[in-house]
Structure 1
Amino acid sequence: MPHTLFIADLHLSAGRPDITAAFLHFMEHEAPEADALYVLGDLFEFWIGDDEPSTLNRQVAAAFRICREGGTPVYYIHGNRDFMLGRRFAAEAGMTLLPEHKVIDLYGEPALIMHGDTLCTDDAGYQRFRRITRLGWLQWLFLRLPLQKRLKIADGIRGRSARSKQEKSVTIMDVNQAEVERQMRRAGVRRLIHGHTHRPAVHDFELDGRPVQRLVLGDWYTQGSVLRIGPDNTELQRRELNKDMP
């Protein structure tokens, strides 16, 4: 049956081989059967540059390329952890980089897709940090630092981010409903798909008197999360991680 797949927030890293194994299994056995695969950000725990020669990066690139060469296109929207993933890696992986907000056609119905962090407007501190880290000249400087220096900076940012989350309320880190509605109106859609919040759910509500839907992908920390959409069905599914991995 025709269908399109969406994943997000895998946060792949060398320290979680179980997640990597689950992802590679998904890429080998499920993705090739889809009409298209959309990755909505934070595939990696962090990204310090396309020039990082890690085994993990090469495995992921190869999995995407095999999928694309088999006839399933792969599309990628940057997340808040891997926003510097660039054209060099995309070319190696055979995937298409999309802008942070994109309207796509899903079997005759337009849908707005994004990572989702731009919806969390109540978290003013994060939004300031986001604006700074997206500055082109700052990214240019960062990518010209030695790899080990970049890795050290990334580890420091991750540590500060973890401490910051412990001090914030759950509500602040979730999406702002008014921003959700604003983005959907602006895009002219009745369906919004995103990740980032790690709260998988299907939210049905009314917008300007019409039924609309917000679909939220889950993370892959304790289980996989896959959104499967076909012409007549929508399923937010779970996947088991590979428990045999050390």
Structure 2
Amino acid sequence: MRDGHPQSFVDLDDPTVLAFEYVQHLACVLDSLSPGPPGPLAVTHVGGAGLSLARYVEATRPGSPQIVLEPDAELTEVVRRELPLPRRHRIRVRPVDGRSGVAALRDGSADVVVVDAYADGRVPPELGTVEFLADVRRVLRPDGVVMLNLADEPAGRYVAAVAAGAVEAGLSTQAVLATHDVLKGRRFGNSVLVAAGSTADLDLVELRRHVARSPFPTGMRSGAELARRARSARALTDALAAADPDAASSPRPPDLGRWRLR
């Protein structure tokens, strides 16, 4: 738990065990990226917590160089002590916030960027703006992929706004993954927005296969429907985040147990 919200689950004996549905969705995308035996990927994680996904990448794609941007150095120290990382891993944790950490990365240095950072149960305002997404695009290789874990209300306005910002930043929005009840607007919950660099074209058929095998009842939105939702929204900007941080953050989560609409 962090800020009163469930955050991480780690199985030291089997790092491929992923307890949260949105982490499963992130893993579905990662697993769909290689048509053959999976090889190493250069992955940058914005947000670290228990390093669940970084451990998964290390287990399924050994030798992957990974950078984790996690500003809470005290949390990282506890994780290292209580939940030690595997031997010979290539996971490097930097005690910096996501915005400044991404700004310091080299152009074209990442195959995948994962944005999964929360403060008080909300995505910080500076991590959903056009300017931030443009910097993520700079860091991505041309065939790279970015995944954003976004919490939203049933109407899905925040996810649509971030998708609009991704398009404005020059990324290609590819898909949104979520449990069926979240996709259908029945409750507050997490969606994973997937966007790609200039030459990337995700194999959506392969991704759907992985989604279908998810242990959670998961659906996927892509194509014209996703593009229409992005066009209907106004992108978030740094100017808005500075003037009204509340408006540029993801919605406040309801009390646990009151997430369902109908």
TM-score of the aligned structures, taking structure 1 as reference length: 0.34
Larger of the two Rg values belongs to structure = 1
TM-score of the aligned structures, taking structure 2 as reference length: 0.32
Relative contact order, CA 8 A, sep 6+: which one is greater?
A: 1
